[in-house]
Structures are given as structure tokens and as C-alpha cells.
Amino acid sequence: MKNFKYILLSLLFTGVFSCEIEEISDPNNPSLVDIEADATKSDILLLITGTEELMRSEIGFYYDVLGILGREYYFFTNSDPRYTGELLGKGDAVLDDAGFYGTRPYAGRYKVIRNANILMTAMANTSETLTEAERNGVKGFAKTCQAYSYLLALNLQYQGGIRIDVADTENLGAFVGYDAALGAIAQLLDQAYTDLNGAGSEFMFSLSSGFAGFDDPATFGEFNRAIRARVALYAGDEAGALDALGDSFMDLNGDLNAGPKHYYSVVGTEEINPIFRAPDQSEALIAHPSFVTDIRAGDTRMSKVTERTETAVLDGLSGDYDVTVYPSNASPIPIIRNEELILIYAEANIGTDNLEAIDALEVIRDAHGLGAYTGGFTDTDVRNELLYNRRYSLFGEAHRWIDLRRYDMLQTLPKDRAGDDVWTQLPRPVSEKE
């Protein structure tokens, strides 16, 4: 349940950055200045809880927007035509630099980064007695959360770049391009991993049940390496991806759904899953028709969609299947799963050891009812098999748009109406214009 003091703190960061942060007026709670100058251990623990909480901030917009841009699904709603208009490039529509679909998921990521910076400043300045291992654990946690948040912001902005140097909110660093940003994120993850390796056997703090199994320095380090493998893959560093996977939680024989998650609940004041929509409603996430027409016979990933009683129609678009990746509004949302790690492993081996890549892909195929691979062995053959499996294994997890962009294949996405466009990146938010 959310703590009142945390709510007061979180209200300070409703913008991406703020040059004027007012003190908290509640006489029973310290100001931000006090916390940064000499935080109590309780303040530090509260900031850690807040950092994990903020990782969920506006995350529903991130998944929905990337799902729509990647033609995984439509969002049919009469309350806002931009979901079927601007995001799909209808007619003369273009993306708006003040549009919620770009500003909210972007701002949500920088709330995490800002909160983690406050956390590390507070820990550095506290007069509380903390061991070196405890300090390393906090730094490893904070930097990993920051790196993940930077990566999601970069996924939105792509070649437009992002700010990395944001610790001083009154003197923000310049925007850096895509490749440089990936390099900075990788470096931050490596720093965090070094911190985690010096954090002893236990954290001084607790995480939500979403991080069950990843809630001590060693296992949180495996999560760190999983994200590091994703970053390496995006950077075209296959050897680096394989190296990171070796220290991650990847398990070719393990549960494909294993991995840390964003926690949701219908109890009390907890947040509910922002992506879940009840099936067969007029406001709905509608699977793109190509999801059904392109899936192979016997592929059990068809269970990620459910046929409607009537065709949904809106704005010249239509579909017969609801997206039902999440069965309820209390379902957790994965941050990264073992299934993705196995697919990263397969991709990183293509071109150097295609047989090893195929072995990994057969793990995925077997799990979803497709059996042994019977295709060709060229790089192109194996890569096409990879992309098919990434499409269906990671459906609804905000990957397809990024994957096709990585392979310069966005032109293969369907345009459902004359004049529709497929966008490469979102515009820099208007609040960030230099």
C-alpha cells in the first residue's frame, strides 16, 4: 500500500524535470532539501520503494503506444481519436510533440531517473551508519533502475536521442544520439553490476513481490545482466550480448515466464494493470488482423488473443480478436522474461553458429506446439525464424516496432488505410525542445 509520505514526495516530480522544487509543507515530514542533506534510514528505504513504484509510472502508455506503432494491435476508443489517427499516420496526421502518447511515457521514465538520483544523493550525505555493502546494494539497485528507464526513453526517441546527464536539474546535459546513449546505458549497467557484486548476500531493503527471486544482490545482478544483454543486442554487439547472458538468469530448460515484473493488485490503493481491457467491449485492444492470418497452424501463442462475438469497427479499421495477454487487472507486467533472453541468445548466435541459434529457437518452438525446426540454415532463414518467434513470443510487450526498426524492416508493417504512415520514432517532447 502506498505510504502517505511517499505520495508527497512523488508529487514533486510530476514533470520531467523541475528547476524549482518546493519544500513539503507537512510539518510531520521532512523537506526534499532535508532528505538530500541528511536522510534517515527510513527516508532512504522510502526512496527505494518510490523508485520501484515509479518504474510503473505511465508504463501503460509505453506498451500501448509501441504496440500500436508496431501494428501489433489497435486501441479502439471513442474518447481519443489520436490512437487510430496520429499514431497510425491517418491521412495528413503527423505525430504531435505535445501529444500525451509521447510526453507521458517519456516523462514517466525520467521520474524514475530523478528519484534514483535523489536516492543516491541522500545516501551519500546521510549521517546514518551504513556498511559499504549496504551502500553498494543501494547504488546497484538505483543505477540499474535508471539504466532500464533510459533505455525505454531511448526506444521512444531513437535517433532523436535523449539526455543522460540529468543529475543537476538546473544544468541539464545535452541530448546524445542513439549510439552514444546506448553506450552510456551499457556503462551505467556495468557500474551497477560492479556495485551489486560488492553488496554482500542481502539488500538492506525489500522489493515488491514482482521482484520475488530477484531481490538480493546476486539475483538482482542477474536481472541487470539481462537488461545489459538487450542493450548489447540493440548496439549490434552480439559477443557482448552472449557475455551478459552468461551472468543473467537465462535458462534454456527453465520457465519461459521467469523474470522480474511490475506488480499490480486490486487491493486497497494499489495500482491495477494499465494495459488490461475486459474482452468483448467497445473500448478495447484489438489484435491486428495480421496476427491471426500470419500465425502458423498449431502455434499455441494464438491464446494471446480471444475471438470477439462481433467484429470491432472504428475509424476505417476492424478486427475480430481482443488482446488477452493479461487475464485480469491484477496481472503483473513482465520487465524482461527468460523467453526473451533465449531469443536474444538465438539472435546473437546467428551468423557465427546458426546451429546453436536453431537449438535455442527449438526451445521456443517446442514450448508453443511447433516442434522441430525444418527450415533452411542460411543466416536469412534463421533470422526470419527468429523474427517470427520474437513477434509471437513477445506480442504485446513492446518489441515488434523496435525489432523491425533494428532490421530496417519497418516498411514491411501493414498500412491499413490509404495514406497511413509507419513512424520511425516519436518527436522530442515539446518541454524538452532546446
- In angstroms and rounded to an integer, the radius of gyration of the C-alpha atoms of the chain is 22
Give the residue ranges of the chain where pLDDT is below 50.
1-28
Q: What is the pLDDT of residue 434?
A: 64
* Calpha distance 286→231 (Å, rounded): 30
Distance CA(415)–CA(421), nearest Å, equals 7
CA-CA-CA-CA dihedral for 342, 346, 349, 354, to nearest 10: 140
**pLDDT value of residue 268:** 87
The cell numbers describing 161, all together, are 536521442
Extract the C-alpha cell encoding 117.
Answer: 538520483
Q: Are 343 and 229 in contact (CB under 8 A)?
A: no
The phi, psi pair for 177, rounded to 5°, reads -70, 175
pLDDT at 433: 76
Amino acid at 394: L
What's the pLDDT score for residue 1? Answer: 33
Backbone angles phi, psi at 305, to 5 degrees: -130, 155
Decide: helix, strand or coil at residue 242. helix
Neighbours of 380 (CB within 10 A): 9
Q: Provide the pLDDT for residue 30.
A: 58
**DSSP-derived secondary structure letter, 222:** H
What number of H helices and E strands is found in the chain?
14, 8
Q: Measured between alpha carbons, how far is 236 from 230 in angstroms, rounded to an integer?
A: 10
Full-model pTM = 0.93
- The pLDDT of residue 32 is 82
Give the start-to-end residue ranges of the domains of the chain. 1-75+96-206, 284-323
User: Are 398 and 325 spatial neighbours (Cβ–Cβ below 8 Å)?
Assistant: no
d(CA 37, CA 18): 19
Nearest-10 crossing angle of helices 100-125, 59-69: 140
Q: How many CA atoms lie within 13 A of 412 on its CB side?
A: 12
The DSSP-derived string for 146-197 is HHHHHHHHHHHHGGG-EE---SSTTSPPPEE-HHHHHHHHHHHHHHHHHHHH
